[in-house]
């Protein structure tokens, strides 16, 4: 296996690789996890790993650091992209979807209340929790468990983004793949040990009031992994061995319901393997999955509320036997997943993408020079000079 401290070889610039596919899989796993208690039989009673959907969120937190290093690392480090512009672009990417989703949820809850309907989770949609949601104060321990639960990740990541330039410049001082990998492992093991010692709970599944302590170390791990990919000469075969090895370890540990520390280390290996492998041929549907994954992650609170609080009770009234017939009850539950996928795709096509395109043209458009080349982004972080 070829792996030394040197500049990486040029990779394919094609989208639709394994990381894109994994984004979709992880987002879908979050949905399954959150819908699990509404299944005819609670999913985590069927297998313990189905109660660990929080690991998919941990995957996204690590991947956020990794991808940002690839997309903005060179520009931020060189000063071509200012902190203000970088942070505003990240805010513009996240906040419109957050606020539109929250507004839709508020309208839906108020309309349901006017019709005399109540959510199955009493007290979940408390109007007193709205200000913290609107202002994304979750990272400061204010709110977090109300309304659109996944929005806590936006709150914490926006804080991480503010420190990204400083953190990445520090990472650029590391010129060894082994030091980068060692740093990533040290952060994972150290933050988890600190969490167990101070809070009595694993860092990977901390409750909302500690979401910043959960997110920040994993984001930093993503930066260290990105630097490991940059500084290592990863042959395609070597990268695939690491990626598939990590995937095999993750599946085996999941089947055995093993320690989450092993799961997170395996996830890191998967990200390295996928990020260091050239995308020679797009995986069918992977690019679509990557685009839909953010909407899937953000809007499934709405689709779940509609399905389990409106559609399912209505179906039970029209067909009372549906809850007593096993295959019909399971078909009804799987319908929630299909409904969520369709709704997320429509949300992406007709709300999220048009808004992002408008914001890009209005606020972030720049003149195109003759030297600009229209190519898709490199799936690996590009090599940079230390600054």
Q: In the beta sheet, which residues pair with residue 232? A: 5
Within a domain: 331:
yes
- pLDDT tens-digit profile of 316-349? 888 887 766 788 999 999 999 999 999 999 999 9
What is the pLDDT confidence band of residue 309, given thresholds at 50, 70 and 90?
confident
Name the residue with higher pLDDT: 366 or 265: 265
Q: Which of 36, 111, 32, 38 is nearest to 307 (CA)?
A: 38
Contact 29, 337 (CB under 8 A): no
3-state secondary structure of 366: coil
Q: Which range has the top average pLDDT, 60-74, 182-196, 297-311?
A: 182-196
Q: What range does the domain containing 168 cover? A: 23-230+285-359
Distances (CA, A) of 153 to 129, 144, 157, 252: 17, 10, 6, 28
Within a domain: 365:
no
- Count how many domains the chain has: 1
Name the residue with higher pLDDT: 165 or 146: 165
| Mean pLDDT over each residue of the chain, to the nearest integer | 87
What pLDDT, on a 0 to 100 scale, did the predictor assign at position 12?
41
- pLDDT tens-digit profile of 112-131? 888 777 666 666 788 888 99
What pLDDT, on a 0 to 100 scale, did the predictor assign at position 3?
54
- pLDDT tens-digit profile of 31-86? 999 999 999 999 999 999 999 999 999 999 999 999 999 888 888 888 887 888 88
Within a domain: 268:
no
Mean predicted confidence (pLDDT) in 220-233: 95
* Percent of the residues in the chain that have a pLDDT greater than 70, as a whole number: 88
Convert 283-308 to b/e letters by CB count within 10 Å (16 or more is b): beebbebbbbbbbbbbbbbbbbbbbb
What pLDDT, on a 0 to 100 scale, did the predictor assign at position 119?
63
Q: Which of 185, 166, 183, 156 is nearest to 265 (CA)?
A: 185
Within a domain: 58:
yes
Does position 373 have pLDDT exceeding 70, yes or no? no
Does position 364 have pLDDT exceeding 50, yes or no? yes
CA–CA dist 105, 295 (Å, integer) = 14
Does position 92 have pLDDT exceeding 50, yes or no? yes
What is the pLDDT confidence band of residue 27, given thresholds at 50, 70 and 90?
very high
Residues in the chain: 387
Mean predicted confidence (pLDDT) in 255-269: 97
Q: Rg (Cα) of the chain, in Å, rounded?
A: 21
Does position 267 have pLDDT exceeding 90, yes or no? yes
Contact 30, 56 (CB under 8 A): yes
Within a domain: 50:
yes
Does position 380 have pLDDT exceeding 50, yes or no? no
What pLDDT, on a 0 to 100 scale, did the predictor assign at position 159?
95
Within a domain: 246:
no
What pLDDT, on a 0 to 100 scale, did the predictor assign at position 17?
87
CA–CA dist 176, 202 (Å, integer) = 29
Within a domain: 30:
yes
Distances (CA, A) of 127 to 106, 110, 179, 271: 9, 10, 48, 39
Instruction: Read off the pTM.
Output: 0.88
Q: Which of 133, 264, 142, 271 is nearest to 212 (CA)?
A: 142
The dihedrals phi and psi of 316, each to the nearest 5 degrees, come to -65, -35
Within a domain: 141:
yes
Contact 214, 206 (CB under 8 A): yes
End-to-end CA distance of the chain: 30
User: 112-121, 164-173, 366-375 — which is least confidently predicted?
Assistant: 366-375
What pLDDT, on a 0 to 100 scale, did the predictor assign at position 8?
41
């Amino acid at each position: 296996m070829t792996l030394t401290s040197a500049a990486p070889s040029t990779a394919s610039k094609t989208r639709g690789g394994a990381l894109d596919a994994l984004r979709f899989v992880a987002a879908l796993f979050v949905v399954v996890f959150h819908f699990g208690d509404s299944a005819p039989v609670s999913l985590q009673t069927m297998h313990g790993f189905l109660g660990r959907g929080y690991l998919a969120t941990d995957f996204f937190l690590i991947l956020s650091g990794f991808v940002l290093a690839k997309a903005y690392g060179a520009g931020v480090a060189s000063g071509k992209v200012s902190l203000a512009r970088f942070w505003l672009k990240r805010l513009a990417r996240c906040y419109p979807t957050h606020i539109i989703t929250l507004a839709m949820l508020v309208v839906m809850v108020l309309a349901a209340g006017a019709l005399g309907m109540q959510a199955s989770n009493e007290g979940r949609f408390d109007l007193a929790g709205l200000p913290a949601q609107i202002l994304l104060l979750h990272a400061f321990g204010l709110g977090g468990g109300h309304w659109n639960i996944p929005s806590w990740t936006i709150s914490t990541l926006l804080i991480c983004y503010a420190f990204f330039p400083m953190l990445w410049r520090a990472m650029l001082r590391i010129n060894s793949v082994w030091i980068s990998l060692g740093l990533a492992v040290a952060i994972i093991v150290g933050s988890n040990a600190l969490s167990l010692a101070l809070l009595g709970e694993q860092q990977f599944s901390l409750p909302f009031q500690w979401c910043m302590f959960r997110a920040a170390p994993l984001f930093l791990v993503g930066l260290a992994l990105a630097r490991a990919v940059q500084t290592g000469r990863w042959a395609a075969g070597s990268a695939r061995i690491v990626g598939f090895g990590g995937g095999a370890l993750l599946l085996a540990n999941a089947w055995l319901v093993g320690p989450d520390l092993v799961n997170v280390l395996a996830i890191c290996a998967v990200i390295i393997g996928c990020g260091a492998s050239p995308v020679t041929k797009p995986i069918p549907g992977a690019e679509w999955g990557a685009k839909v994954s953010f909407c899937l992650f953000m809007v499934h609170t709405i689709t779940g509320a509609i399905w389990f609080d409106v559609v399912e009770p209505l179906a039970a009234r029209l067909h009372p036997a549906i809850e007593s017939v096993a295959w019909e009850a399971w078909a009804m539950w799987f319908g929630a997943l299909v409904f969520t996928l369709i709704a997320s795709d429509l949300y992406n096509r007709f709300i999220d993408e048009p808004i992002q395109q408008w914001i890009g043209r209005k606020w972030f458009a720049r003149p195109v020079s003759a030297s600009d080349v229209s190519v898709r982004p490199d799936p690996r972080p590009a090599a940079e000079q230390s600054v």
